[in-house]
A and B are shown apart, each in its own frame.
Chain A
Amino acid sequence: MANKPFAITLKPGTSLNNLTGSWRSERPVYLDRLPPCNNACPAGENIQGWLFHAESGDYEQAWRVLVQDNPLPAAMGRVCYHPCETACNRGQLDTSVGINSVERFLGDEAIKRGWKFDAPAATTGKKVLVVGAGPSGLSAAYHLARMGHQVEIQEAGPLAGGMMRFGIPKYRLPRDVLDAEVQRILDLGVTLKYDSKVANIQQSMKDGGFDAAFLAVGAHIGKRAMIPAGDASHIVDAVSVLRSMEGEDKPMLGRKVVVYGGGNTAIDVARSVKRMGGEPIIVYRRTRDKAPAHDFEIEEALQEGVMIKWLSTIKQAEVGEITVEKMELDEKGFPQPTGEFEKLEADSVVLALGQDVDLSLLEGVPGLEVKDGVVQVASNMMTGFAGIFAGGDMVPSERTVTVAVGHGKKAARHIDAWLRGESYEPAAKHEIAEYKNLNTWYYSDAHKTVRPMLDMIRRQTSFDEVQGGLDETNALFEARRCLSCGNCFECDNCYGVCPDNAVIKLGPGKGFEFKYDYCKGCGLCVEECPCGSIKMVPEDI
């Protein structure tokens, strides 16, 4: 530059000498916020995390991230009531992401491709007994096995799956799918003993030399209701009906079947009856919007020809008919009798009023607390007796497969810690990524992909799966609808919109860094971050 005119001609790029970072009173910082889907998932899945990989078409990696939390994606992708989708921020934009359908796609893909779980870590030498091969037990066994513990499942029945098999009809969960996912867990080295009902847990532990036990026996005893009935009246419980559907001998219920109750089990029974050629009528004491069953299941049942009598209670059951009383809702929304009666044809009555737990195996165990028919556990899933943990339907919680799977994972982590004489402290939850944290402008317009439904005739006459899956193209599409709430997905917006080039792009998978020497603190990166993974914080004074 010596030759160049003084002062009016300058060297290129020399403004780097001017550290404009000193202009700043607030600084942007990158952060991860907790996506609402993850937050809502009872199984604790890192949904946003596995969708991230699915978005780029790396389904195996997506599945691997998924199964870090849940070993049953194919089943979950069918039977989960997906609270994640309810929580999904995209629901406020157009329609929530079809997380459940992508999960099912990944689960099915894994079965199709024969993906296996990663081999367990080095063995710990500890033995854990899992009682019950339902979702909770399988989940716990899986996680414990991956942590290197020796796991044995003792299952009272002849088949694995628990309520997934004996409570959920085939048309919702084909059994080959369930079998495949169970087998993959067993392939990890988990021992599963069928027809091994644990009568006394302490004895069983002692006999087998187990260091800890996880109890997940489920709730398989159907609740009875006091219905005045003639001797010949045919009254059975829903659990039994559904269980018998699995065996060779289909239940004999007759043509006109009244199902009493308004939960998902009632719907499952009614739809199964329909498929067996019967004429199911659901009797429920309250209204549709008060029914505990999921509305989409009620809707599908109605579509298939299931009759439902709302605001009705069964007063009397006789041979071939029942008497129902009409109810009306009071001001508080509770059903009250009206004194109006009606007779309905009924070859049988199926009671779908909920299930109880068989707690006999716990007799004699000191320190246990049982309340409302379920075992009380501490926050670490441990019962009042050290080393015995419990989860699933036998502890106080919502009774869903997903909750059960979540219990299994949680219990496994605590058991693992307990076995090492430690306690497991889950990482503090990040703040939730709320809709207002997002800049949704940046997401392409795209409505949810609707999964195909089986045609009506086959729905009414067979146990074929009602809801189809997504194919690769639309699964990818659906995955890409994810807003990646609160978690950087490397859209480069911060890198691009900074007027001061104060963002360093570190390369694929490595994210970004701020060059605080130059960042003036304008906040554009925060405002224009689509997913809300940057925030402004005041500069230290």
Chain B
Amino acid sequence: MLKQIEGSKAVAEAIALCRPEVICAYPISPQTHIVEALGEMVKSEKLTPCEFINVESEFAAMSVAIGSSAAGARSYTATASQGLLFMVEAVYNAAGLGLPIVMTVANRAIGAPINIWNDHSDSLSQRDSGWMQLFAETNQEAVDLHIQAFKLAEELSMPIMVCMDGFILTHAFERVDIPTQEQVDGYLPTFDPRQSLDPKEPISIGAMVGPEAFMEVKYLAHAKQMQALELIPQLAAEFKQQFGRESGGLVRTYRAEDAETMIVAMGSVLGTVKDTVDEMREQGHKIGVLGIISYRPFPLQEVRAALVNCKRFVVLEKSLAVGMGGIVATDVRMAVSGTGLKGFTAIAGLGGRNITKASLHKLFLEAEQEKLEPVTFVDLDWEVVNKQLEREKQNRHSGPIAENILYDKGMSTSAKFG
């Protein structure tokens, strides 16, 4: 059923359609609307049977999910940013224990400086945690990926994050086709846990494993994600059959046929990129897009196949490996290693910095001309940065950089909207 609906609300409805049995959450912007909506559904018994637990921290949220999942209940939580970092120990643990928990990450930057706006630093920091990570481009896809996520997680008995851009998607009202309960039930079987805590068949979960078997355990987790590379497209195909809609998969290209320049990106920015590419195509530029949906497992082959025919590519990413450059770009370069392709990394949108068509036009043109630095910071205010660097050269003791920059900019954040 088509609805004009807030992204968070749509995701909440999708989660509910998946019949989760335990939902636990701790509020953090911009994830709040999702769990608020779910809380109301449980409280009003629209979603039943389901336990909704207001926990005291994200660490507890993931821990409760670990417990409920281990006891055989379909378990869900949502978080973002600092919240994800606060639960990190449990995030790794859930993956290590092979618990098929589904978690929405409403992607948000990580402080300090504290910042509630969108980028991908949070979930990308968990790239090695053993969780799968799928990135939604639109709210429709966010809805669809959650439904696929439960199935994927439970088939592999591995946890999965569905990542959607904070505010940009979570708080956007747009048209979403919400499936019916029958459709979802026809796609997603009831949870049949691989193992569960049950007095009828006691097992000990969570052993201490020494050097003699630890590597094997880790390899098996890796092997599962390799299996996921096959399973994800399969589930997307099944999804299309059931819901009549293309959604999910590992990667998706756009106007890539004869593209000489490819733009690689994840999440909602793909929309703006596509609009920009459309405009450039109209102007005759041979440019295309590669959207990565599955960040973990990372589809090396698919990425390579999508890029191998272009001349150059730009990885436009909302994350920064401080001291190194791009995070996604590193993986993409790994995928095309040996091809001799020219690759650029563009860091953009950190902490919610707007990524505008205008900036992208400029970026893509420069890329086409291969004038870009290997790592480019899109719309960085060089004046401010250089001033601060200069100041630091003269006065070596550390100070509050963020404050100085705001001072230099002579503004407060609330005064700026454009």
A touches B in complex, CB < 8 A: yes
CA–CA, A1 and B194, complex, Å: 10
B217 CB within 8 Å of chain A: yes
User: What residue in chain B is nearest A5 (Cβ atoms)?
Assistant: B98
B96 in contact with A4 (CB, 8 Å): no
Q: How distant is A288 from chain B, measured CB to nearest CB, in Å?
A: 73
Q: What residues make up the interface of B, taking CB atoms closer than 8 Å to A? A: 96-98, 157, 194-195, 202-207, 209, 213-214, 216-217, 220
A10 CB within 8 Å of chain B: yes
User: What residue in chain B is nearest A1 (Cβ atoms)?
Assistant: B203
A7 CB within 8 Å of chain B: yes
7 contacts between A and B (CB under 8 A): A4-B195, A5-B157, A5-B195, A5-B217, A7-B217, A8-B206, A12-B202
A4 in contact with B194 (CB, 8 Å): yes
Q: Which of A1-43 contact B (CB under 8 A)?
A: 1, 3-12
Chain B residues near A1 (CB, 8 Å)?
203
A6 in contact with B216 (CB, 8 Å): yes
User: What residue in chain B is nearest A11 (Cβ atoms)?
Assistant: B203
CA–CA, A3 and B213, complex, Å: 17
Chain B residues near A8 (CB, 8 Å)?
96-98, 205-207, 209, 217
CA–CA, A6 and B217, complex, Å: 7
CA–CA, A4 and B209, complex, Å: 15
Interface size on A, residues (CB 8 A): 11
Chain A residues near B96 (CB, 8 Å)?
8
Q: How distant is A81 from chain B, measured CB to nearest CB, in Å?
A: 62
Chain A residues near B206 (CB, 8 Å)?
8-9
Q: Is the interface of A mostly helix, strand, loop or mixed?
A: loop
User: What residue in chain B is nearest A4 (Cβ atoms)?
Assistant: B195
User: What residue in chain B is nearest A15 (Cβ atoms)?
Assistant: B204
Chain A residues near B203 (CB, 8 Å)?
1, 4, 9-12
Q: How distant is B401 from chain A, measured CB to nearest CB, in Å?
A: 43
A7 in contact with B209 (CB, 8 Å): yes
A9 in contact with B213 (CB, 8 Å): no
Chain A residues near B194 (CB, 8 Å)?
3-5
B205 in contact with A9 (CB, 8 Å): yes
CA–CA, A359 and B311, complex, Å: 135
B213 in contact with A6 (CB, 8 Å): yes
Knowing that A5-B98, A7-B214, A12-B202 touch, tell me 14 more A-B residue pairs with CB under 8 angstroms.
A3-B195, A4-B194, A5-B97, A5-B194, A5-B217, A6-B213, A6-B217, A7-B216, A8-B97, A8-B209, A9-B203, A9-B205, A11-B203, A12-B203
CA–CA, A12 and B204, complex, Å: 6
Chain A residues near B157 (CB, 8 Å)?
5
A6 in contact with B204 (CB, 8 Å): no
Q: How distant is B206 from chain A, measured CB to nearest CB, in Å?
A: 6
Q: Which of A331-364 contact B (CB under 8 A)?
A: none
Chain A residues near B213 (CB, 8 Å)?
6-7
Known: A12-B202, A12-B203, A12-B204. Contact between A6 and B195, CB under 8 A? no
User: What residue in chain B is nearest A10 (Cβ atoms)?
Assistant: B204
CA–CA, A7 and B157, complex, Å: 15
Chain B residues near A5 (CB, 8 Å)?
97-98, 157, 194-195, 217, 220
User: What residue in chain A is nearest B209 (Cβ atoms)?
Assistant: A7
B207 in contact with A10 (CB, 8 Å): yes
CA–CA, A533 and B195, complex, Å: 47
Chain A residues near B220 (CB, 8 Å)?
5-6
Chain B residues near A10 (CB, 8 Å)?
203-204, 207
User: What residue in chain A is nearest B204 (Cβ atoms)?
Assistant: A10
A9 in contact with B207 (CB, 8 Å): yes
B204 in contact with A7 (CB, 8 Å): no
Q: How distant is A199 from chain B, measured CB to nearest CB, in Å?
A: 86
Provide the A110-144 mask, 1 if CB < 8 A to any CB of B, else 0: 00000000000000000000000000000000000
User: What residue in chain A is nearest B96 (Cβ atoms)?
Assistant: A8
Q: How distant is B28 from chain A, measured CB to nearest CB, in Å?
A: 30
Q: How distant is B153 from chain A, measured CB to nearest CB, in Å?
A: 14
User: What residue in chain B is nearest A8 (Cβ atoms)?
Assistant: B207
A9 in contact with B195 (CB, 8 Å): yes
User: What residue in chain B is nearest A14 (Cβ atoms)?
Assistant: B204
Q: How distant is A311 from chain B, measured CB to nearest CB, in Å?
A: 82
B204 in contact with A9 (CB, 8 Å): yes
User: What residue in chain A is nearest B99 (Cβ atoms)?
Assistant: A5
Q: How distant is A184 from chain B, measured CB to nearest CB, in Å?
A: 61
Chain B residues near A12 (CB, 8 Å)?
202-204
Q: How distant is A106 from chain B, measured CB to nearest CB, in Å?
A: 51
CA–CA, A9 and B197, complex, Å: 11
CA–CA, A10 and B195, complex, Å: 11
CA–CA, A4 and B220, complex, Å: 12
CA–CA, A1 and B195, complex, Å: 9
Q: How distant is A6 from chain B, measured CB to nearest CB, in Å?
A: 6
Q: How distant is A16 from chain B, measured CB to nearest CB, in Å?
A: 14
Q: How distant is B377 from chain A, measured CB to nearest CB, in Å?
A: 42
CA–CA, A1 and B98, complex, Å: 15
Q: How distant is B198 from chain A, measured CB to nearest CB, in Å?
A: 11
CA–CA, A6 and B204, complex, Å: 12
CA–CA, A6 and B219, complex, Å: 11
For the complex of A and B, list the 5 residue pairs with the smallest distance between their C-beta atoms, beginning with the closest. Answer: A10-B204, A12-B202, A7-B213, A7-B209, A5-B98
Q: How distant is A211 from chain B, measured CB to nearest CB, in Å?
A: 72
CA–CA, A5 and B98, complex, Å: 7
CA–CA, A5 and B209, complex, Å: 12
CA–CA, A289 and B144, complex, Å: 103
CA–CA, A10 and B205, complex, Å: 6
Q: How distant is B195 from chain A, measured CB to nearest CB, in Å?
A: 5
**Chain B CB within 10 Å, residue with most, of A5, A6, A9, A11:** A5
User: What residue in chain B is nearest A13 (Cβ atoms)?
Assistant: B202
CA–CA, A255 and B195, complex, Å: 100
Chain A residues near B205 (CB, 8 Å)?
8-9
Chain A residues near B202 (CB, 8 Å)?
12
User: What residue in chain A is nearest B203 (Cβ atoms)?
Assistant: A9
CA–CA, A10 and B202, complex, Å: 9
CA–CA, A11 and B204, complex, Å: 6
CA–CA, A4 and B217, complex, Å: 12
CA–CA, A6 and B157, complex, Å: 13
CA–CA, A97 and B207, complex, Å: 54
Chain A residues near B207 (CB, 8 Å)?
7-10
CA–CA, A12 and B202, complex, Å: 6
Chain A residues near B217 (CB, 8 Å)?
5-8
Q: How distant is B218 from chain A, measured CB to nearest CB, in Å?
A: 10
CA–CA, A51 and B220, complex, Å: 66
CA–CA, A256 and B205, complex, Å: 94
Q: How distant is A1 from chain B, measured CB to nearest CB, in Å?
A: 8
Q: How distant is B381 from chain A, measured CB to nearest CB, in Å?
A: 49
CA–CA, A463 and B358, complex, Å: 127
User: What residue in chain A is nearest B212 (Cβ atoms)?
Assistant: A7
Q: How distant is A7 from chain B, measured CB to nearest CB, in Å?
A: 4
Q: How distant is B220 from chain A, measured CB to nearest CB, in Å?
A: 6
CA–CA, A521 and B83, complex, Å: 49
Q: How distant is A127 from chain B, measured CB to nearest CB, in Å?
A: 72
Chain B residues near A3 (CB, 8 Å)?
194-195
User: What residue in chain A is nearest B157 (Cβ atoms)?
Assistant: A5
User: What residue in chain A is nearest B221 (Cβ atoms)?
Assistant: A5
CA–CA, A4 and B98, complex, Å: 10
User: What residue in chain B is nearest A3 (Cβ atoms)?
Assistant: B194
CA–CA, A6 and B195, complex, Å: 12
Chain A residues near B97 (CB, 8 Å)?
5, 8
Chain A residues near B214 (CB, 8 Å)?
7
CA–CA, A6 and B207, complex, Å: 10
CA–CA, A10 and B217, complex, Å: 13
CA–CA, A10 and B216, complex, Å: 15
CA–CA, A503 and B204, complex, Å: 25
